[in-house]
């Protein structure tokens, strides 16, 4: 039975109401209006099956019948006016109740109608000691043979018990003697042994063609003489550079995109855009009634926020940040700062606690990724040119983060902007470090040959081999660049762990002696809590082992391997939060053009994405 039904306008005016009980409806309606109708839970109150259909029908009929009166009359006339909707509502209510009664009640399924009742009794008998696989095979051997009677042992033909696939034993009334049991077990053993022989024969046959397809051994010329000219199958070179291989792969080495202009980092993907479009479709198809209820749902009204209101939301935000590779300590500090900022703040009428906390956290993250000091390398290089001295950049970081690779990318970016570069190979510890930089120098020279720049050498490698003092090599490289007129000197240092005191002392010595214009820390985007430990200990080691009164610390960050983390971009937040230094470059691939500048809003959007 439906006790009460009311039709409201969007402004909260009662247009018409139906009262199924004798009590007055004025009190409940006025109380509902005074409480601003915060939440609507009619489905929890009414358990009638036809409520949704009745509401849709009443809404459609009332809107179509009194459309002109509602649009033309004012609010006062609506209050004084009457809508004759009683007969129409009773008709719709009667139709909805009758349609719900038409549905036949569901009955329970009997045992005779179940699948288990259709199985024969014989298939349900289990023999002691019989394996499930053998039982399944026996069932398959039976096939689709029809049983002549319902008895478990009745068959259409006089077939022996062993061949018919029936379980033989005292349970089925068939007793076997000792000789018959021995003979049966012997036959089972022979069958198993014969299957094993067949499998081994098949495996030997399948291996035979593989031996035929093996690669033929190389026949050495001159009777096996170990001659260098005969054994050397590498590409012929001239003065240390390949003749044809480099010109063929030069586009792959360079990559695509403008090399002289850094593009902003884009953290979005096509899957995200497709998901966003799909998520907007169902919201557009909702009815007007559902849209009105959804707008009023979850509102908190004008109130001041407290710690208790934000506690559950901040806990979820903290766990979300940690899952996106933000260091745990930093995630806690960020949520604590947001709570202090919002505590006691008065919220708007149409805002929720979750949206308010999320917006405040997004603003804090954008401020973290946009520090006060901005590094502009091109402007500083041109300033150094006016002073007739080279601009020196030192790269440092732990092992395997991509210092040499991203040094080559930055070299290519500087070459595209018309600056000459001298690469100083100060990694005298790792095997192959000098050869790696030599390869990069050769490829960069092929992309920017002297012929395109009036015979001027645009990129050159300065190296003194292995086992030498890195600080001394860097000093000689800076002096060489000053004499030869190079615009930029890029100093590559050996990778070292933050806990290695001797190597950290050597790095502090290199920076103190040569006083570079820019010290860049190269870190990978895959780390979480380790990023905080690396940066804190690198800065501490530079401060402790420096001989100057004002020690030189890290000036900026190069974030590498950003293309491997999808939306787990928390390392950028951790690094900038600890050092308050900007992320100057972001490495996004293997080619020279895969270098980007940080887009703070894109990173924060990827970080807050669920």
Confidence of residue 393 (pLDDT cuts 50, 70, 90): very high
Q: How is 277-330 classified by DSSP, letter by letter?
A: HHHHHHHHT--HHHHHHHHHTT---S-B--HHHHHHHHHHHHHHHHHTT--HHH
Position 260 scores a pLDDT of 64
Give the pLDDT of residue 210: 47
Domain boundary assignment for the chain = 4-100, 304-369, 377-608
Helix, strand, coil percent values for the chain (each to nearest 5): 50, 10, 40
Q: Taking the alpha carbons of 605, 606, 608, 609 in that order, is the dihedral positive or negative?
A: positive
SS3 (DSSP) at 164: coil
Confidence of residue 412 (pLDDT cuts 50, 70, 90): very high
pLDDT confidence of residue 529: 74
Mean pLDDT value across the chain = 74
pLDDT on residue 295:
45
Q: Is residue 437 pLDDT above 90, yes or no?
A: yes
Q: Indicate if the pLDDT at residue 15 is higher than 60.
A: yes
Sorted by sequence, the CB contacts under 8 Å of residue 556 that are 6+ apart come out as: 375, 518, 519, 520, 521, 581, 582, 583, 584
Q: Is 44 exposed, middle or buried (0-12, 13-18, 19+ CB in 10 A)?
A: exposed
Among 60-64, 184-188, 477-481, name the most confident range. 477-481
Residues 6+ apart with CB under 8 A from 143: none
Q: What digits encode the pLDDT tens for the residues 55-113?
A: 888 888 888 888 777 777 665 666 666 777 888 888 888 888 887 776 655 667 777 77
Q: Which residues of 519-549 are buried (b: 16+ CB within 10 A; e: fewer)?
A: bbbbbbbbbbbbbbebbeebbebbeebbeee
Average pLDDT over residues 9-38: 65
pLDDT (mean) for 215-224: 57
CA distance 460 to 440: 10
Confirm if 437 and 463 have CB atoms less than 8 A apart: yes
pTM score, whole prediction:
0.56
Cα separation, 476 vs 464, in Å, equals 10
Length of the chain: 610
- Is pLDDT of 127 > 60? no
Element spanning 49, H or E: none
CATH class as words, domain 377-608: alpha beta
Helix H or strand E encompassing 423: strand 421-425
Lowest mean pLDDT among 44-53, 78-87, 558-567: 44-53
Lowest mean pLDDT among 18-27, 93-102, 332-341, 586-595: 18-27
> Using 50, 70 and 90 to split pLDDT, how confident is the model at 252?
low
Which H or E element spans position 123? helix 121-124
Give the model's pLDDT for residue 256: 63
Range 4-100 classified under CATH 3.30.450.60: yes
Picking from 457, 453, 478, the residue whose alpha carbon sits closest to that of residue 389 is 478
Higher pLDDT, 389 or 108: 389
The band of 147, judged by pLDDT with boundaries at 50, 70 and 90, is very low
Helix crossing, 529-544 with 501-514: angle to 10°?
A: 60
Using the Cα atoms of residue 432, residue 438, residue 441 and residue 446 in order, give the sign of their dihedral: negative
Q: When comparing pLDDT for 197 and 343, which is higher? A: 343
Rounded CA-CA distance 588/564 in Å is 8
The more confident residue out of 107 and 53 is 53
């Amino acid at each position: 039975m439906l006790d009460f039904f009311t039709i409201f306008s969007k402004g909260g005016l009662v247009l018409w109401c139906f009262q199924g009980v004798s009590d007055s409806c004025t009190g409940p309606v006025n109380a509902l209006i005074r409480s601003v109708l915060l939440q609507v839970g009619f489905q929890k109150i009414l358990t009638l099956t036809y409520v949704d259909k009745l509401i849709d029908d009443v809404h459609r009929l009332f809107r179509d019948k009194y459309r002109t009166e509602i649009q033309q009359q004012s609010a006062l006339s609506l209050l004084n006016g009457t809508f004759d909707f009683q007969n129409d509502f009773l008709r719709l209510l009667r139709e909805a109740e009758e349609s719900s009664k038409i549905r036949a009640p569901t009955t329970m399924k009997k045992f005779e109608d179940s699948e288990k009742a259709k199985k024969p009794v014989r298939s349900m008998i289990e023999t002691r000691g019989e394996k499930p696989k053998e039982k399944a095979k026996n069932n398959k051997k039976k096939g689709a043979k029809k049983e002549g009677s319902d008895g478990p042992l009745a068959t259409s033909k006089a077939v022996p018990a062993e061949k018919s696939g029936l379980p033989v034993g005292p349970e089925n009334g068939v007793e076997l003697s000792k000789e018959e049991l021995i003979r049966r077990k012997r036959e089972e053993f022979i069958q198993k042994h014969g299957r094993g022989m067949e499998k081994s024969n098949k495996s030997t046959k399948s291996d035979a063609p593989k031996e035929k397809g093996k690669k033929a051994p190389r026949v050495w010329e001159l009777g096996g003489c170990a001659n260098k000219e005969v054994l050397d199958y590498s590409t012929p070179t001239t003065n240390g550079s390949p003749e044809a291989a480099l010109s063929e792969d030069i586009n792959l080495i360079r990559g695509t995109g403008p090399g002289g202009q850094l593009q902003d980092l884009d953290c979005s993907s096509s899957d995200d855009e497709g998901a966003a479009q799909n998520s907007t479709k169902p919201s557009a198809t909702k009815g007007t009634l559902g849209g009105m209820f959804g707008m009023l749902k979850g509102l908190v009204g004008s109130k001041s926020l407290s710690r208790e209101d934000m506690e559950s939301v901040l806990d979820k935000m903290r766990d979300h940040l940690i899952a996106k590779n933000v260091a745990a300590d930093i995630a806690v500090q960020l949520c604590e700062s947001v709570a202090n900022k919002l505590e006691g703040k008065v919220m708007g009428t149409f805002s929720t606690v979750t949206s308010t906390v999320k917006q405040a956290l997004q603003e804090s993250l954008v401020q973290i990724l946009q520090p006060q000091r901005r590094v502009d390398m091109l402007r500083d290089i041109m300033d150094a040119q006016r002073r007739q001295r080279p601009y020196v950049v030192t790269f440092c970081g732990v092992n395997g983060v991509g210092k040499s690779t991203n040094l080559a990318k930055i070299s290519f970016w500087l070459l595209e902007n018309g600056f000459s570069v001298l690469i100083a190979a100060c990694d005298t510890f790792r095997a192959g470090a000098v050869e790696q930089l030599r390869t990069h120098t050769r490829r960069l020279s092929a992309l920017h040959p002297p012929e395109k720049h009036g015979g001027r050498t645009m990129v050159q490698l300065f190296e003194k081999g292995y086992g030498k003092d890195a600080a001394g090599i860097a000093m000689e490289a800076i002096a060489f660049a000053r004499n030869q007129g190079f615009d930029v000197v890029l100093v590559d240092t050996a990778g070292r762990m933050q806990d290695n005191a001797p190597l950290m002392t050597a790095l502090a010595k290199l920076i103190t002696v040569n006083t570079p214009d820019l010290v860049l820390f190269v870190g990978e985007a895959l780390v979480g809590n380790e990023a905080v430990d690396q940066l804190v200990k690198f800065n501490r080691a530079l401060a402790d082992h420096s001989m100057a009164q004002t020690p030189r610390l890290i000036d900026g960050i190069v974030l590498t391997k950003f293309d491997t983390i999808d939306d787990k971009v928390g390392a950028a937040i951790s690094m900038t939060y600890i050092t308050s230094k900007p992320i100057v470059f972001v490495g996004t691939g293997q080619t020279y053009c895969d270098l980007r500048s940080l887009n703070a809003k894109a990173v924060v959007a990827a970080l807050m994405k669920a």
